[in-house]
Chains A and B, each alone.
Chain A
């Protein structure tokens, strides 16, 4: 290869995908005990499949390893079941990605077995029965992990969970095929459920504590070995990232994202090593309040709406934006991306959803405004940074 090209494409990374949010490492430092606990809860699935069903709740703050713990466990259990000739599937569904829709969540579970299952033509109420029929037919057992369960509870209330936790009651004598792993940040969210569902779910709880600095260092160390070239990340840099993440409530996801971004800054500056300065620059660009992941989950028009809003904030420098102004700004963003704009009712829904995700804040206008309007504010992130992030996601196929 031409030496100038080599220089241009020099990178500190060996395998960037190991820092991806969806990567499930084979080893989970400082979560061995919890992994063991999950194995205990689901021991029956390997020893006496069909004899019982289990419901486990995993709680913990953001970046405490809830998702990866469940996924690692699922992969391990599937492998072990395969070796024993048991048809056991682990399906991980992010309820927030499904917009809290019980229909889409259960549909994903069925699509795991029938990838060509029709996407429409039936109701949400029919789906639990269909899922059990599919499982019976394939003599399969399913562990359904409902990640970000709060989204489902918020949108659909108790009913879907009630049905899922009681699904075997109407099938006396038939094998119990469906177990649940419910993942959420705070068990408090379960207060919105009816008492019987709540008590069913609260029987087995695994609470994950925030990671400490040394624990974060171990996690980062593993990822550095997998993702970076030898010697690209020094002990000092690692320590620096671990400490930064520890001050963000022990958020490992933040730590890994910071590590990845710092690597990108090192690449951009042509450095063969990730230096603390790269970490500092990465930290400025990375707001723990709103993540790439949270933005990429948004639908196209929600992204466009948010883009319009943040642009208007950048232009005006004001603290609040009325619904009317936001609508105009959104129309401009739609025009830019060649999309047909959605109507007001839909935008109103977007505002409520973005507000529920804590990306924007809303309040009713008081004096100084004619009539009544909703005022939008952006309390957590500088508008220009969010704008850049949105443009990046929109331009890299995040449409």
Chain B
């Protein structure tokens, strides 16, 4: 994930804190270390961003070698830079598996002239599991290309909206995500860099601010970490 902008539009605040474990690649969220941990920063998990400290922005690489977290006397201390703004909006790629597979694209198999339903037998196997109701759907080809709507009800092979699209045609493609603006949880991929769009929005505390609705490998969610050490007392 990447830091995109701050809700208030203000400056970033950057701090250098001590690591409690081997440094990971930058672009993940770090959380506050538990009691008696070696340092101040611990690595978040796929389903927990509790007590987020901020976005990790640098690596501990020295001349091609990763500088490991170490408790050996004489070794350098592992310190990492984090952007700690609680209102930092993070941009995260939508993926369809723990290993970052591209999103599954649906293809209209029954046309709807009223534009209220998207019926497919080629997309996600069952749009009720994970439940896509209250999520977002957008077309990636056809006459509705780039148009999006909120999903208001689902069936295994169909999505329904209230604000109609233009009539669709067999073969038009679309993507959908169970997440939507204002929903407040999500699950990260194993590398903690991307957001699972193939799972119901449960798990880590995050509040969705916006979406960039492009293709199966280029659509992003924007969110803020809502369980932030410097914003929430828990």
A, B from the same assembly: no
